[in-house]
Chains A and B, each alone.
Chain A
Amino acid sequence: MRLSRRRVLKSLAATGAAAASPGVFMPALAQTGPLKIGILAPRTGIAASAGISGLAATEWAVEKFNAGGGIAGRKIQLVVEEETSPKDTIERFQKLVQQEKVECVMGIVSTGVGLALGPVVEEARALTIYWDGTTQDGVDEKLLNPKYLFRSTDNECEAVMSSLLAIKHWKGQFKRIAGINPDYSYGRNNMAAFIALLKRFDIEHEVVTEQWPKVGTMELTSHVAALKAANPDLIFSSLLFADLPVFMKQAHAADLTKGTKLVFPAAGWQHTLMKKDFTPEGMIFGHNTLYFDNPQATPMQKEFVAWYAEKQKDYPNWEADRAYFAIASYKEAVEKASKAKSGQWPGVDDVIGAMHGLSVESLGGKGGWRKDNIADQTFVQGFSTHNNKYDFVTLDPAKIETMYSADLQKPPGAKFWDWLKTAQFKI
């Protein structure tokens, strides 16, 4: 009985094999009609503010590109799906590729989702460009040498840059360091990178406390009390969701921020919530790849920020730049590949080839693609100031620092933690 059941199963499997023989699955490359691009962005939950910024920038870019004739002559048509849990996002991705037949997918903010989706992207052979969500742990193992997947700069770039700034400006002025970071891989890695860099530069330090509030914790007075009791000279924090302004507010109320050096590499994610009332001046404040009020901004950035402020009644965060970079570099690559084929619509492999080594002017500055499908972008950080027309802090224009990620992330093939120990940093 058991044997026959097994045989039935086997023959069933064989039927399946006949039904979906290999090669049936091929992304379609229609060469006429609108060019469909799929977007996977979070619209609710903790990462929603990133999703909104990214979506808005994509719409802005599409409006602009379409007014200029689209991409290599084809008008762009967006198909937007939601980034949620890993399981659901994989389904939405497959829907975009298999049902909607989009030619490229862009988006993804969360690392957990990005890691799960990576192998699916490769198997679907669908060109996919991540906006964000590539924290180091797991990337080496789960997204090894991708061909179709183009991923954003290392998530630790901002922490490396903030650490370098802290070392450059405050060396010798702090010894007791404390951390309060979100309890997930991003927070863990950022704190670890900071400590690794302190060691790398032989800076004598003592970690007096490390707090790991769960993402979404909105009541941090006890954490603040614990930090205060540890009496640190410097606090390193990569809080970035709604818990960031909550922490600042509660820390301010408890006088924790007074006289303490603050290093906040990811603060730009919620910059408009960092009200002057409770956010001090002089903290190291990371805006990642887009600082909306940058005095050295290109006319394009200024135009976008004005449009965004008008439309969203808010100022964009870095995800807007990531999203613009994704679609602008895709446009550039398609047009380059098309030119090389004398105007013919390029295949996926041609576009991928054209992406490598490509460089475009994104909203926040220059960006390009390495040969290993990893982005390089321009990072902006600085020291917070109250001297502006807004009710939240911005960067002191005299002390804005800009770094290209070639100096902030590991070179192709290197291991992140080994690279930190040996790299030559420019500070």
Chain B
Amino acid sequence: MRGATAMIVAAGVVALGLVPVLAPPFYANLLIPFFGYAIALLGFNLLFGYTGLLSFGHAMFLGLGAYGAAVMAGENGIKSFEVVLLGVALAGALVALPIGLLCVRFIGIFFGMLTLAFGMLTHAILFKFYHLTGGDSGMRVPRMNILGLEFQAYNKIELLAGPFYYYCLGLLVLCGLVMWRIVHSPFGLHLRALSNNAQKAEYLGVRVYQFRLAAFVISAIYGAIGGAILGFRIGLADPEIVHWTHSGHLVFMTVLGGFSSFLGPIAGALALTLLQDQLQSITPYWRFILGAVLAAVVIFLPRGLAGIAGTGAALAKRRAAA
């Protein structure tokens, strides 16, 4: 299985790497948010797929990343995107710690509602503390340098379609590798154990509460990194990013791709990005179709796109064996 996953990853990286070269320039720009979402969802799925905690307020951490980038780069003139990434990752951890301490005492629907409430509290604060956050107009996220390089010859659209695209691809691979290590470490196994049966896991000596908290904090760090990429791309941190419907879209992507698979959420982010782009051009009623797709996935494909791939692979194997 490891070999198969590695092959899929390699093929995926090559395919994504060819997008700026082969596809029209628009697509490289379109995929930047995908990288942001993919990284955020790697973390989100540690919480949802592996630990069994469904957060309906996770967009608050993406907001933290975007606003963090606005504060660091826009207000304080930090030019290096790496510094900003480290900063928002740290901020994500610091904010997630107290919120997590409060939230992870609950599971199931209570955890979902508590995170939803925190998300909307964040949304309300961003709106109400108008003089600090710019209210609905948000805060500007300026252009930053990556790996110490300014890329002055590029305007931002070219930067996004070229160097920044590959930078994000690299970042996704890096974050993916780290997450792969996390979920296959004893820690990750513990998370899965307590997701399946928390009581049993506790008897076996898993510190349920601490492990859930750790998963929550890690997912927040990934969320903040993803949010910083979104902020860089949009050039603005705005309250829409933390709205509960945006959290809903994160869950949508994860389930579309399949939360029981490591790569599923990434596939889901890619699929939803491309699907929404196509639908918006075809019909003004694209929301309805998105809703219908979501309903169909929930009903007929509970394991998402990864489930289809898995079933296909199993069938092929059976056929080969026969």
Q: Which residue of A lies closest to B155 (CB)?
A: A123
A94 touches B29 (CB 8 A): yes
CA distance A184 to B123 in the complex (A): 13
Asked if B158 contacts A24 (CB within 8 A), the reply is: yes
- Residue of chain B at shortest CB distance from A85: B240
**Total interface residues on A, using CB and 8 Å?**
50
A418 to B166, CA, bound (A): 46
Task: Indicate if the CB atoms of B158 and A13 lie closer than 8 Å.
Answer: no
The reply to whether B280 and A92 contact each other, CB–CB distance below 8 Å, is yes
On whether A112 and B154 interact (CB within 8 A), knowing A13-B167, A16-B163, A20-B25, the answer reads no
Identify which of residues 136-154 in chain A touch chain B, using a CB-to-CB cut-off of 8 Å: 137-138, 141-142
- In the complex, are the beta carbons of B238 and A13 less than 8 A apart? no
Minimum distance in angstroms from A118 CB to a CB of chain B: 9
Chain B minimum-CB-distance residue to A111: B137
Query: CB < 8 Å: which of B136, B151, B163, B277 contacts A112?
Result: B136
CA A25 – CA B33 in complex, angstroms? 20
**A99 with B234: in contact, given A87-B240, A91-B277, A184-B127 (CB under 8 Å)?**
no
A13 touching B163 by the CB < 8 A rule? Answer: yes
Q: Which residues of B contact A141 (CB under 8 A)?
A: 140
Contact string, A109-135, partner B, CB cutoff 8 A, digits 1/0? 001100110011001100000000001
- Judging by beta carbons under 8 Å apart, are B234 and A20 in contact? no
The verdict on B156 contacting chain A, using a C-beta distance below 8 Å, is yes
Number of interface residues of B (CB under 8 A): 53
Q: Does A22 contact B (CB under 8 A)?
A: yes
Chain A residues near B241: list those with CB within 8 A. Answer: 87
Q: Known A135-B137, A183-B127; judge A82-B280 contact (CB<8 A).
A: yes
Contacts of A21 in B (CB 8 A): 158, 162
A44 within 8 A of B: yes
A15 at the interface (CB under 8 A from B): yes
Q: What is the CB-to-nearest-CB distance from A321 to chain B, in angstroms, rounded to a whole number? A: 23
Chain A neighbourhood of B181, CB < 8 A: none
Most B CB within 10 A of own CB, among A6, A8, A135, A142 = A142
Task: Give 1 or 0 for each of A163-205: 1 = CB within 8 Å of chain B CB.
Answer: 0000000000000000000011100100000000000000000
- Minimum Cβ distance to chain B for residue A121 (Å): 10
B156 and A116 contact, CB distance less than 8 A: no
Q: Which of A5, A24, A44 has the most CB of B within 10 A?
A: A24
Within 8 Å of chain A (Cβ to Cβ): is B20? Answer: yes
CA distance in complex: A142, B134 (Å): 12
Any A CB within 8 A of the CB of B54: no
At the interface, yes or no: B87 with Cβ under 8 Å from chain A?
Answer: no
Q: How far, in Å, is B285 (CB) from chain A's closest CB? A: 9
B135 within 8 A of A: yes
Set of chain B residues within 8 Å of A19, measured between Cβ atoms: 20-21, 162
- Smallest CB gap from A44: residue in B: B287
Establish whether residues B156 and A119, one from each chain, have CB atoms under 8 Å apart when the complex forms. Answer: yes
Within 8 A of B (CB), among A76-116: 81-82, 85-88, 90-92, 94-95, 98-99, 111-112, 115-116
Complexed CA–CA distance, A128 and B230 (Å) = 23
Distance in angstroms between the alpha carbons of A5 and B217 in the assembled complex: 26
Closest beta carbon of chain B to A216's beta carbon, Å: 11
Question: Could you say which residues of chain A place their CB within 8 Å of the CB of B303?
Answer: none
Closest B residue to A80 using CB positions:
B284
- Residue in A closest to B243 when the chains form the complex, CB atoms: A85
Please state if A123 and B156 are interface contacts (CB–CB under 8 Å).
yes
Q: Decide if A86 touches B135 in the complex (CB within 8 Å).
A: no
**A184 and B136: CB pair below 8 A?**
yes
- CB of B114 within 8 A of chain A? no
Specify which chain B residues have a CB less than 8 angstroms from the CB of A17 in the assembled complex: 151, 154, 162-163
Tell me which residues across on chain A come within 8 A of B276, comparing CB atoms. Answer: 88
Q: 7 smallest A-B Cβ distances: which pairs?
A: A20-B162, A16-B166, A98-B26, A184-B136, A116-B236, A16-B162, A123-B155
Question: Could you list 7 further interchain pairs (A-B, Cβ under 8 angstroms) beyond the known A91-B30, A115-B138?
Answer: A20-B162, A95-B30, A115-B236, A116-B234, A116-B238, A183-B128, A185-B137
Chain B residues within CB distance 8 Å of chain A: 17, 20-21, 24-26, 28-30, 33, 127-128, 130, 134-138, 140, 146-147, 149, 151, 153-158, 161-167, 169-170, 174, 230, 233-236, 238, 240-241, 276-277, 280-281, 284, 287
Q: List 14 A-B contacts (CB under 8 A).
A: A16-B167, A20-B154, A20-B162, A90-B234, A90-B235, A94-B26, A94-B157, A99-B26, A119-B235, A120-B156, A123-B156, A183-B128, A183-B135, A185-B137
